[in-house]
Every structure is written in C-alpha cells, then in structure tokens.
Amino acid sequence: MKNKSELAHDSLEQMITFRDLAPGSMVSESHLMVLTELGRTPIREALQKLAAEKMVEIHPRKGILIPLMSVEVQLKLLEVRRTLEEQAVRFAAHRSTVSHKNEMLQLAEQLLSCQDYKEPRNFGAILKQVHRVIADSTQNEYLTMAILPLQGLSRRFWFAHVQSFEKEFSIAGQLHATTLKAICHSDETAASEASLALNDYLIEFAYRSIRRTPN
C-alpha cells in the first residue's frame, strides 16, 4: 500500500500530465493540499521528488511553477531515454521473474484491448505501470532511478500533444505490447528492436508536434 507521500506524488504527477495544473502556472502548497485532500507534509515531500524529476520548479516565497514542456526538451529527453530504455529491456529479458512476466503479459493485453479513447487517464495509468514493471525487472535500482523520471516527462509531452487518441493509443499500445512480449520470451534482440522502434515513433511524434501549440 502506498503511503501519503507516494499518493500525493502520483496525484500531482497526473494533474501535471493531464494539464489540470496548467503549464506555466504558479500554484501554492495550500492549493495543492485542497486539490489532493492531503496534508502539508506529504505534499512537500511529493514536491521535492517532483522537483528532482523536473516536473515542477519550487520557488521559495513565490510558489510552485508548472514548467512548460517544449519539443526541444522532449527531443533531448528521448536522446537519453533511447539508450537507457534499450539497456533496460535487454536486462529485463534475462532478469525478469515469473511474477514480472505475468504482469507484463496482462499489461500487454490491456494495451491491445484498450478502446476507451475518451479516458486518456486510464491509458496513462497503464503506460506508467508498463514503465515501472520493466524498470523493476532490470533489478538495477540505479537504472530505475534514471529512467522513470525521463519516461514520466515523455508521457507528459505525449499526452499534451495527442490530436487523435484513437490513432495514437493504437500505435503506442502496439509498440509497448511488442516490447513486453519480447521480454516475456527472453528475446533480448527483439526487445531491443521493439524499444528502438518505440523511440523512433516518439521522435517522429515530437517533430509532428512542432507546428502545434507547445506546452
């Protein structure tokens, strides 16, 4: 069971990802306490973690800034994510446990059957689980610490710029599911190729977003 700080982190991350907290806006701790119905201590602990992950900027005596998310930033993130994620899936192909693989197969089926295009938060929750189980299955806490924040920021950009959820959910779902299934088959090469194909898609998506309103 998650503690209050973890619940606060997850809640605030979702609000940022799905723009309940507008990019470029300044908010107060007290406002976040009201939104999450959580106390000052878990909110502060969550904000410290989110600041380390570059999801927020803490400005003493001014408030909490929700930073903008540009195409340029996304492309820089993807440069790093590409290498780390490929290494992660290679490790996962050999180190994942039976429990990890069972969870991955369930998530793959959820991704491929997700038809609720009107509820992107549901798809976002599945993607977050996918990223977490792959990271956990590497059994390398340092890799996990490095990759999860990058994936969180990438998800934020992706959801902010999706024009057709039906189209993009289908593409992203298939690419993630292919990666998960390759890991479950302990196929390091296939997992690597699937990971790189996903990164290629995200780069192409970012370039498509250049003509859209940033944030």
pLDDT digits (tens, 9 = 90+) for 16-69: 999 999 999 999 999 999 999 999 999 999 999 999 999 999 999 899 999 999
The CA distance from 90 to 166, in Å, is 30
CATH number of 71-211: 1.20.120.530
Q: What is the pLDDT of residue 75?
A: 97
pLDDT value of position 197: 98
Contact 63, 26 (CB under 8 A): yes
Q: What pLDDT, on a 0 to 100 scale, did the predictor assign at position 215? A: 44
Give 4-65's CATH code, choosing from 1.10.10.10, 3.40.50.300, 3.40.640.10, 3.40.630.10. 1.10.10.10
Tell me how long the chain is. Answer: 215
**Tokens in use for 74?**
């996304």
The reported pTM is 0.91
Closest CA to 152 of 35, 42, 50: 50
72: CB partners within 8 A, 6+ apart: none
**Edge-to-edge order in the sheet of strand 26-27:** 26-27, 63-65, 57-59
Could you identify the residue written with the tokens 């090469």? 189
Q: What is the pLDDT of residue 115?
A: 61
Token reading at 37: 């119905």
Q: With 60 as the cut, is the pLDDT of residue 213 above it?
A: no
Ordered by start, the domain boundaries in the chain are 4-65, 71-211
